[in-house]
Chains A and B, each alone.
Chain A
Amino acid sequence: MKCEEVYQWLQAYLDTEVTAEEERMVEKHIRGCPACRRRLVELAQTINQLERSEELTPRQDFTRKLWERLQQERTIQKRG
């Protein structure tokens, strides 16, 4: 099997969105292909990097501000 063909299974493999058969196919290929093995490791690093991003929180007055806007809208609706 060619690397180009295995590539999309390699990606889905990392997302655990492959069937058992596809999983075996990927594992068989990477055992014998250093280039794909390297690519797999790099993709895993990329994903790891993405998922390490820190979580942020909105400002404390977020809900209060939202509520004010909603009340305003309602008042306008009522008048209309």
Chain B
Amino acid sequence: MRSGRQRQISDEDLVRQSRQGVESAFVELVGRYKDKIYNLAYRMLGNREEAEDVAQETFLHTFRALDSFRVEERFSPWIYKIASNLCLDRLRKYRYSVTSLDEPIGPDGDIPQQVADWSSSPDKVYEVNELRADTQHAISGLPPKYKVVVVLRHLHDMSYDEIARVLNIPQGTVKTRLFRAREILRRRLSRLYGDNGRGAQEGAAIEV
């Protein structure tokens, strides 16, 4: 059990201590961020093994770069930036070998495609797990630069401004990508809920 006092130490102070060689300070940072970074990587990559690997890489990079961290800034956007870039790099490398819409899905790629095919049986009552699988499937079909914005916004609860800082892009670009991504997802989910693509026709005029 950690004491209440320890929990109040800021991330930035932990970085300062880590720089001075206090190992427990870095362990504490890992403890605070490992779930968040792992979930980010999982949503981006759709696979537990890869997510674990990227999360490890993120902390290794973070550790190596501790000295270049500017202490007047916040730690959280910094580590998210490292993790997001690693995920995007990995997706870029796989761009030509992965056709995500046709891939098996699920935590370890073990859910067959037909379970998640929302267009095939609109009247089917979906189980909770299948709906979750659909969500992951929906995200995994998005272009990486859209996907990362959706993940940061909806799974990490970041504002437009925070996302802009993490990804080093203008707020206007964050909005454009987020809105387009959600429009794509809205149309797919609209089909899933049995609206026979009506939403798709309405949305077609919007997505330029």
Q: Is B159 an interface residue (CB 8 A)?
A: yes
Q: B-facing mask of A12-24, CB < 8 A → 1, else 0?
A: 1001010000000
Are A50 and B27 CB-contacts (below 8 A) given A4-B205, A56-B38, A57-B38?
no
Q: Which residues of B in the span 117-133 have a Cβ within 8 Å of any Cβ on A?
A: 131-132
Question: How many whole Å from A19's CB to the nearest CB in chain B?
Answer: 13
Contact A12 B189 (CB under 8 A): no
- Size class of A's contact patch? 20 to 34
- Size class of B's contact patch? 35 or more
Contact A56 B39 (CB under 8 A): yes
Are A15 and B39 CB-contacts (below 8 A) given A52-B132, A54-B132, A58-B52?
no
Contact B35 A55 (CB under 8 A): yes
Q: Is A46 an interface residue (CB 8 A)?
A: yes
Contact A53 B136 (CB under 8 A): yes
The residues of A that contact B34 with a CB separation of less than 8 Å are: 58, 62-63
Q: Is B42 an interface residue (CB 8 A)?
A: yes
Q: Is B85 an interface residue (CB 8 A)?
A: no
Question: How many whole Å from B130's CB to the nearest CB in chain A?
Answer: 12
Are A63 and B202 CB-contacts (below 8 A) given A46-B182, A58-B52?
no
Q: Is B91 an interface residue (CB 8 A)?
A: no
Dominant SS at the A interface?
Answer: helix
Q: Which residues of A in the span 23-80 have a Cβ within 8 Å of any Cβ on B?
A: 35, 38-39, 42-43, 45-47, 49-59, 62-63, 65-67, 69-70, 73
The residues of B that contact A52 with a CB separation of less than 8 Å are: 131-132, 135
Q: How far apart are the CA atoms of A15 and B154 in the complex, in Å?
A: 10
Q: How far apart are the CA atoms of A2 and B60 in the complex, in Å?
A: 51
The contact of A50 among B39, B155, B203, by CB within 8 Å, is: B155
Q: Which residues of B in the span 50-66 have a Cβ within 8 Å of any Cβ on A?
A: 51-52, 55-56, 59-60, 63-64
Interface residues of A (CB under 8 A from B): 4, 7-8, 11-12, 15, 17, 35, 38-39, 42-43, 45-47, 49-59, 62-63, 65-67, 69-70, 73
